[in-house]
């Protein structure tokens, strides 16, 4: 979204002035005037600036944004279809789909009547905040609504990229191992909510839900846990209630910000990525 990120008109560049380091003499001068420049630049800072801009926009418009992540095949899209079916007509809802290839997932969402935009990342293994800003150009106004971002199926890379969402949600299907939270600890550390999906298959697998929850809390003591069957809808009420609470809070914050004539912005600082 050019209005948010400014790209297309002028690229966001790091304007922090670089300072020259003290001239060091642990190097020879044959190279013809090599010098040291101290720059202290966070590699994730650029994504973080886009994420902050997205978060600023979402806060100003009272939009509750959820970033859904899992390994491929954990049932993100099936769960999403259920959730948007239940939410549509009550609040404005839209979905941004991320996949390396195809528009199949966006088509599944669009079939419910909810606006969806597909991002194809090509070779990239994750969505970044810049792509999210642009995807907003293709969706209708969502003031006071809920935006779902379905990330690329991958339990590793998406954890490292803030998109400006209110919450990261990790979906772990019970056909995967209960030890996934320990094996992919960065993802479970980054998430605020873990949804155990495909609970309808529990009688047929050896998945130990208590162990999965214990492992997730070992990695992230604050993580909330819900259990659903995305296919049949069991347990969906808790997820919908969680979404309602988040959406109401986002709307209230936007109203208060309008009243006090200032915009609520997250407390993120670009110097270092958020700790948790």
Partner 1 sequence: MHEMALCESVVQALGEQAAAQGFARVTAVWLEIGALASVEPEAMRFGFDVVTRDTVANQARLEIIEVAGEAWCMQCAARVGLQRFGEACPQCGGYQLQVLTGQQIRIKQIEVM
For residues 125 and 248, which CB has a smaller minimum distance to partner 1 in the complex? 125
* Residue choice 27, 204, 234, 255 for contact with partner 1 (CB under 8 A): 27
Please, what is the minimum distance in Å from the beta carbon of residue 78 to partner 1? 26
Strand ranges inside 131-230, DSSP E: 146-150, 167-173, 193-197, 224-227
Contact call for residue 38 and partner 1 (CB under 8 A)? yes
Cα dihedral across residues 10, 117, 136, 101: positive or negative:
negative
Indicate the SS3 state at residue 117. Answer: strand
Please, what is the minimum distance in Å from the beta carbon of residue 239 to partner 1? 25
Residues 53-92 that bind partner 1 (CB under 8 A): none
**Which residues have C-beta within 8 Å of that of residue 25, sequence separation ≥ 6?**
none
In what side-by-side order are the strands of the sheet with 64-69?
A: 116-120, 93-99, 146-150, 64-69, 167-173, 193-197, 224-227
Total of residues contacting partner 1 (CB under 8 A): 44
* Residue choice 86, 139, 157, 201 for contact with partner 1 (CB under 8 A): 157
Please, what is the minimum distance in Å from the beta carbon of residue 262 to partner 1? 29
Contact call for residue 13 and partner 1 (CB under 8 A)? yes
For 135, counting Cβ atoms within 10 Å of its Cβ (0-12 exposed, 13-18 middle, 19+ buried), the class is buried
* Residue choice 63, 83, 219, 254 for contact with partner 1 (CB under 8 A): 219
Torsion from C-alpha of 131, 134, 138, 143, nearest 10 degrees: 100
Contact call for residue 257 and partner 1 (CB under 8 A)? no
For residues 27 and 249, which CB has a smaller minimum distance to partner 1 in the complex? 27
Please, what is the minimum distance in Å from the beta carbon of residue 128 to partner 1? 8
């Amino acid at each position: 979204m050019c209005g948010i990120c400014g790209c297309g008109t002028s690229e966001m560049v790091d304007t922090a002035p670089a300072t020259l380091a003290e001239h060091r003499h642990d190097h020879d001068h044959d190279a013809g005037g090599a010098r040291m420049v101290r720059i202290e630049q966070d590699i994730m800072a650029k994504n973080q600036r886009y994420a902050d801009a997205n978060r600023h926009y979402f806060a100003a418009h009272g939009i509750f944004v959820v970033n859904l992540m899992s390994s491929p095949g954990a049932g993100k899209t099936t769960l999403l279809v259920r959730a948007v079916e239940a939410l549509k007509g009550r609040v404005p809802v839209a979905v941004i789909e991320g996949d390396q290839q195809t528009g199949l997932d966006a088509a599944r969402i669009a079939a419910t009547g909810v606006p969806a935009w597909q991002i194809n990342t090509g070779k990239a293994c994750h969505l970044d905040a810049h792509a999210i800003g642009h995807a907003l150009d293709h969706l209708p106004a969502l003031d006071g609504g809920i935006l779902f971002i379905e990330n690329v199926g991958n339990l590793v890379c998406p954890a490292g990229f803030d998109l400006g969402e209110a919450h990261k949600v990790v979906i772990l299907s019970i056909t995967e191992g209960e030890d996934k939270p320990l094996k992919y600890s960065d993802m479970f550390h980054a998430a605020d909510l873990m949804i155990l999906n495909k609970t309808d298959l529990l009688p047929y697998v050896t998945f130990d839900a208590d162990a999965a929850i214990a492992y997730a809390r070992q990695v992230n003591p604050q993580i909330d846990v819900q259990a659903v069957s995305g296919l049949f809808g069991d347990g969906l009420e808790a997820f919908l209630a969680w979404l309602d609470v988040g959406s109401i809070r986002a709307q209230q914050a936007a109203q208060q910000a309008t009243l006090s004539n200032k915009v609520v912005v997250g407390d993120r600082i670009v110097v270092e990525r958020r700790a948790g």
